[in-house]
Chain A
Amino acid sequence: MPRGISYLALGVVCGAGIVAYVGGGAAPAATSPSDGVALFAHVFEKVRETYVDKPDEEKMVVGAINGMLTSLDPHSSYLDAKALNDFQTTMKGEEFGGLGLEVMQEDGLVRVVSPIDETPAARAGMMSGDVIIGIDDTPVKGLSLKEAVDKMRGPAKSSVRLKVLRGSAKEPREFTIVREIIKVLPVRSRVEAGDIGYIRITQFNQQTFDGVQKAIAKFRSDPGDKLKGYILDLRNNPGGLLTQSIEVVNAFVDHGEIVSTRGRTADQAQQYNARAGGDLSQGKPLVVLINGGSASASEIVSGALQDLKRATLIGTRSFGKGSVQTVLPLGDNGALKLTTARYYTPSCRSIQAKGIEPDIKVRENIPDDLKGKVDSHGEASLAGHLKNGDDEKTGSEAYVPPDTKQDTQLIAAVNLLHGQTPTIGAKDPAHIEN
């Protein structure tokens, strides 16, 4: 069972909130006493007095905060100063020395969600679904995801050795990889089949909308007038910033609701609509590719484009993360990542623990040795996830073949935009369902 999936970060960074917090000063527990806090203070005091060694009080409080947050749901967590810095780095799309892997934690080990194109990890042949069991001779078991990521990052040109289990192989493979500056490039694009604008978004950080804008502008000159339509590839995209997902939808629609969020109180309810004049797509047809690894901000985009009938969704059911986290700074003490709202697509559905069903279900041909290993378990299988009725759905394929010639979902998208029925390209007709 997967534990903390830190990569499903859908964070709203509240600028105004930060200022109010720092300026307003802390409201200490004493001003709003509750039995709970008193009980906690009592236990804290007991530990301080009677623990076998003098305890580290800061560590105790961090342990308590972590315990409290992780008891709420799998996406609420405490970010210490360093984790907050990493989080901001990722969201800003800044650079760091690393390998170029997106990873998640599963069964106490670290699993590769996907290697990022043109990075040391991709060149070394690391693959989606690889399970990292050792980093420089340190066993991964017992490390948190953050600790493992920290060990993999480091100065450029330094090298790191990974022990990796792949597929059903019992013997680990070893990779020695030299770190490079990894730029979190969230958007990649190319012309597919001569006349289709293919845009892949790997995550929604502050560079994302800019990247999409540039890609669309480029398609205007190449392929120019020949352009048949767009493919927006959100497969294995874990999410990111809410604002960016809204901008991306707006690049393809000119009016209407994009998403609404609802928290506990009425004043936390917000509706986001398309800005008129925001549509850059000139009304060309659009296919969105999703799979079991498409989560959060990816689901906002695909849900909105599906509800607005702007795009045809191809692939497999998405992850099902229908909640919004807010990063609440704690002065010098890092920040909370707290689930503060659920979001709803324009037709008012919550995809929490259900995911988005593609309009045309197309499955990839999974190599035998990876079968059963490349599924995402989905939100509904996470311990403590927010519940959403009796028809929750779990588990969906999340494999993308490294070779685009074998990418059945991509081929189906191209064919659809070329006006063909989507059965071509799959050897096994059973792989296409509607």
Chain B
Amino acid sequence: MIRKVSYLALGIAIGAVGAGFGPSALSAVSQSAYAAAADTYRQLNLFGDVFDKIRNDYVDKPDETKLIEAAINGMLSSLDPHSSYMDAKAYREMQVQTKGEFGGLGIEVTEEDGLIKVVSPIDDTPASKAGILANDVIVAIDDEPTQGLTLDQAVDKMRGPINSAVRLKIARGATKDIKEFKVVRDVIKVQSVRSHVEGDDIGYIRITQFTEQTADGLKAAMEKFKTDIPADKFKGYILDLRNNPGGLLDQSIDVVNDFIDKGEIVSTRGRNPDDAQRFNARPGGDLSGGKPMVVLINGGSASASEIVSGALQDHKRATLIGTRSFGKGSVQTIMPLGQDGALRLTTARYYTPSGRSIQAKGIEPDIQILEDVPDDLKGKDDTKGEASLKGHLKNGDDEKSGSQAYVPPDPKNDKQLIAAVDLLHGVKHAAVAPTDASATPSPAPAAPAPAADAPKTAPTPKPDGAQPN
């Protein structure tokens, strides 16, 4: 289903930036070229002037910390849709997201008719050990009624430091008996990788986002396939990146390396040519035994997901099935600001091994397969894509926006998954989607055009003969 637009998080967490600020900030200005410095000084003067006017003339005494936060946020969001200021709370949230672990109870919850309902307790967590069951309704947390709380607020209340306790009042079953549970919080790891054996001969791996847990999760999944599927039967892998909004760059590189043994995975380029970085596969990193591979993508596959699918496509290591990806081709760096939160700043564009930037264009699947979208979701199932975001980084004249992002809840109706299985089984894909003449394998990647220093032009024009959209 469609998720909120938290997608676009492709963050490289940088450690010790910005510990000491203060007077040094202004003196740094004077080191730059004189003219530029004068202009900068003029701009900062204007800002200081406005700040003073507000401090002196606003109807109430303004909260200066909040004013500065709003100023920083206004400045960053004027740059592009992915640069922003995170206050202390948002920054903590993001760390939880990227770390993939937090202090909590271990339940998946959802909001239903204003009630907080347990989807399922996660195995081996305090919640499951305490006996909380799927469909339990949480009516109070530490004696505070959940009525009127948003899902986020309820989740915030349930999370907390490890070894601290929380009391839950739960209504269970048709009789709505109220039971009380006291649960002690523990480290909960967010599963970013789920896997199972599809049919009896395909290793299916779904990555929901790229957190610090992802590379380990993937390795564990691939190890398990080795024991669960006899080597002579093993037909290959499906890597499902649909609606995966991205995450950590280093994790995406690690994921690609599990499927290839050599060559470039991705390169990044910032403003300064010296900052260009190229990431190559470590020899011996490939765990896949060279088995065939299908990657599933759709309009909700963004950022780190596009690095993975772009690299595997350029290396001809995988066949991409699904719909065009989101098109977020930029890298953000997280820069902590003391205790006050952090900047999330776009610092680089990334390029796939053939030298293309997918910014505002997305990755075209080798085989386009559309899902059948239920009538009531039609029109709501598309992501608009990077190219439609206001203020996005431009990328030539052939930007593309909008792509399907629906995944049927029942795998039996999942045409993209079925096409992937059939392909690995050697069934002709034309038979899979007979009404859709789109089964055109994409042209071979253009000759690798290594880092030309004209980052604004599209590296290689894409032949676009029979790609229906």
CB-based contact A38/B21 at 8 Å: yes
B51 in the interface (beta carbon within 8 A): yes
Is B330 at the interface (CB under 8 A from chain A)?
Answer: yes
A residues within 8 A CB of B4? none
Q: Which single member of B50, B59, B71 contacts A342 (CB below 8 Å)?
A: B59
Measured between alpha carbons, how far is A333 from B46 in the docked complex, in Å? 8
Q: Return chain B residues, CB-CB under 8 Å to A39.
A: 21, 25, 68, 72, 337, 340
Would you call B70 and A43 a contact (CB within 8 A)?
A: no
How many angstroms between the C-alpha atoms of A53 and B391 in the bound complex? 13
User: Is B59 a contact of A339 with CB atoms below 8 Å?
Assistant: yes
Residue from A27, A57, A66, A76 in contact with B43 in the complex, judged by beta carbons closer than 8 Å: A57
Judge whether A68 and B74 touch: CB under 8 Å: yes
A64, B75: Cβ atoms closer than 8 Å: yes
Q: CA of A53 to CA of B340 in the docked complex: distance in angstroms?
A: 26
A35 interfacial by beta-carbon distance below 8 Å: yes
State A48–B39 Cα separation when bound (angstroms).
12
- Count chain A residues whose beta carbon lies closer than 8 angstroms to a beta carbon of B: 62
Check if B18 sits within 8 Å of A29, measured CB to CB. no
Contact of A29 among B48, B74, B78 (CB under 8 A): B48
What secondary structure prevails in chain B residues at the interface with A?
helix
Q: Does A50 contact B (CB under 8 A)?
A: yes
A58: interface (CB < 8 Å)? yes
At the interface, yes or no: A405 with Cβ under 8 Å from chain B?
A: no
Which of A66, A70, A340 makes the CB contact (< 8 A) with B59? A340
Task: State whether B53 touches A338 (Cβ < 8 A).
Answer: yes
- Point out the residue from A50, A63, A71, A341 that lies within 8 Å of B345, measured CB to CB: A50
Is residue B23 contacting chain A, with contact meaning CB distance below 8 A? yes
Interfacial chain A residues near B390, Cβ < 8 Å: 142
In whole angstroms, what is the CA distance A326 to B23 when docked?
33
User: In the assembly, what is the distance between CA of A57 and CA of B39, in Å?
Assistant: 9
Tell yes or no: B137 within 8 A of A by CB: no
Residue of A nearest to B332 (CB): A52
Within 8 A of A (CB), among B331-350: 331, 333, 335, 337, 340, 343, 345-349
| B26 on the A face (CB < 8 A) | yes
Residues in chain B near residue A30, CB distance under 8 A: 26, 45, 48
Chain B window 51-73, contacts with chain A (Cβ cutoff 8 Å), 1 for yes, 0 for no: 11110011111101111111111
A52 touches B348 (CB 8 A): yes
B90 shortest CB reach to chain A, Å: 15
Q: In the complex, which of the residues B21, B50, B67 contacts A336, with contact meaning CB atoms closer than 8 Å?
A: B50
Contacts of A65 in B (CB 8 A): 46-47, 50, 71, 74
Residues on the B chain within 8 Å of A157, using CB: none
- The interface residues of chain B lying within 8 Å CB-to-CB of A40 are 47, 51, 68, 71-72, 75
Shortest beta-carbon distance from B86 to chain A in Å: 12
Whole-angstrom CA separation of A302 from B283 in the bound complex: 80
Q: Per-position contact with B for A310-329: 1 when CB-CB < 8 Å, else 0? A: 00000000000001101010
Residue A37, interface by CB 8 Å: yes
Q: A61 to B347: give the CA distance in the assembly, Å.
A: 19
Select which of B60, B72, B271, B340 is within 8 A of A264 by beta carbon: B60
Q: Per-position contact with B for A27-63: 1 when CB-CB < 8 Å, else 0?
A: 1111011111111111111111011111101111111
Distance between B464 CB and nearest chain A CB, rounded to angstroms: 24
CA A310 to CA B155, docked complex, whole Å: 56
A263 and B57 contacting across the interface, CB-CB below 8 Å: yes
Pairwise interchain contact B72-A43, C-beta atoms closer than 8 A: yes
Give every chain A residue within 8 A of B66 (Cβ-Cβ). 71
Which residue of chain A is the closest to B333 with respect to CB atoms? A50
CB distance from B12 to the nearest CB of A (A): 12
Name the 3 nearest CB pairs between A and B, nearest first.
A67-B74, A29-B48, A63-B78
User: Could you list 20 A-B pairs, sorted by A, with CB under 8 Å?
Assistant: A27-B48, A36-B51, A37-B51, A42-B24, A44-B44, A46-B17, A47-B345, A50-B333, A52-B347, A57-B40, A60-B43, A60-B79, A63-B79, A67-B70, A68-B54, A72-B54, A76-B58, A326-B57, A333-B46, A338-B57
